[in-house]
Amino acid sequence: MAVTARIARLRAAAWLGWKVDSNWTDPLLFAIYAVARPLANGLIIVAMYWAVRGRNTHAALFAGFFVANAFHTFVNTVLVDMGWIVFGEREEYETLKFLVASPVGMRTYLTGRSVVKFARATLSAGLLFALGWFVLGVRWNWAAARWGPLLLSVALGLAATLCAGLLVAGLCLVLTRAAITVLDGVALGLYLLCGVIFPVDLLPRVLQWVSLVLPFTWWYEAIRRFLLGHGASAWFGRLSDTQLLAGLAVTTAVTCAGSLLGYTALERAARRLGRLDQTTLF
């Protein structure tokens, strides 16, 4: 009965998330928006790379960055947007206090809302892959892909994305106006630190160690290796497949455990500080 009730709550939160995300306009305009945004982001990355390296230079390296950028859509759409869910409920709709007091609970609500975010991110990633394959000539050998390690890597990365999103949402529960800067900083920091558009070997030594703590750095490198057959980092190139997967699993486990504990502590702090119904007049 408890499992059935939890699934029902998750389903209700997902349904509400779909209404909130899509009900601001007619279905056609929303579909155009959902398609145009990821394609525009992909074309920006292509233009940046071609401007720096030239169109026909290092095709394999470009493929690695393009694939990582496609999967980074999950981080931007799920992880960062979970913080914006808190803002919307507290500042725009002023319903956050009711959600926290309801039987659904804030953590279940955020998890349910993330279902729609994952669906949008999956659509975006699929469109980016189609753009790369059919328009930009980004090719790889599907027969050479190692599907077992690849699917395991994708699952671990998505789990890290969801749990880290809960931690970001917890920060937004405690912070008020300053959390906007935090969300922008998280989005930019993960983009630069995780090897999305350049190898982590180019980072300063201190930032390289920070990068290795983040599961997304291991995630993108694992996806490159098991899908394309090569990575982008010389440091990761020295690791075996088992070591790479172990590093991804360990960083994911630490991130998930720390995020869940951190969210619980931050929600308690928000209750104590009276932040659940405190609006800042956006």
Boundaries of every domain in the chain: 2-273
pLDDT at 28 (0 to 100): 81
- Token pair of 36, please? 């145009």
Confidence of residue 74 (pLDDT cuts 50, 70, 90): very high
Residue range 113-119: mean pLDDT, rounded: 92
Residue range 221-227: mean pLDDT, rounded: 96
Confidence of residue 87 (pLDDT cuts 50, 70, 90): confident
pLDDT at 194 (0 to 100): 94
Chain centroid to CA 151: 17
Of all residues in the chain, the percent with pLDDT exceeding 90 is: 49
Residue range 172-186: mean pLDDT, rounded: 85
CA atoms within a 13 Å half-sphere pointing along the CA-CB vector of 13: 26
pLDDT at 260 (0 to 100): 95
Q: Tally Cβ neighbours within 10 Å of residue 67.
A: 23
Of all residues in the chain, the percent with pLDDT exceeding 70 is: 96
pLDDT at 131 (0 to 100): 84
Q: How far is CA 109 from CA 11, 186, 210, 225, 279, in A?
A: 9, 22, 31, 35, 20
pLDDT at 164 (0 to 100): 96
Residue range 40-64: mean pLDDT, rounded: 72
pLDDT at 17 (0 to 100): 87
The model's pLDDT over 236-281, given as tens digits with 9 standing for 90+, comes to 999 999 999 999 999 999 999 999 999 999 999 999 998 888 887 6
The model's pLDDT over 126-152, given as tens digits with 9 standing for 90+, comes to 988 988 888 878 888 888 899 999 999
CB 170 within 8 A of CB 267: yes
Residue range 203-216: mean pLDDT, rounded: 95
Confidence of residue 75 (pLDDT cuts 50, 70, 90): very high
Does the pLDDT at position 159 exceed 80? yes
Does the pLDDT at position 57 exceed 60? no
What is the distance between the alpha carbons of residues 57 and 270, in angstroms, rounded to a whole number?
A: 51
Picking from 23-32, 181-190, 221-230, 247-256, which range would have the lowest pLDDT averaged per residue? 23-32
Average pLDDT, the chain: 88
Confidence of residue 55 (pLDDT cuts 50, 70, 90): low
What is the distance between the alpha carbons of residues 139 and 30, in angstroms, rounded to a whole number?
A: 30
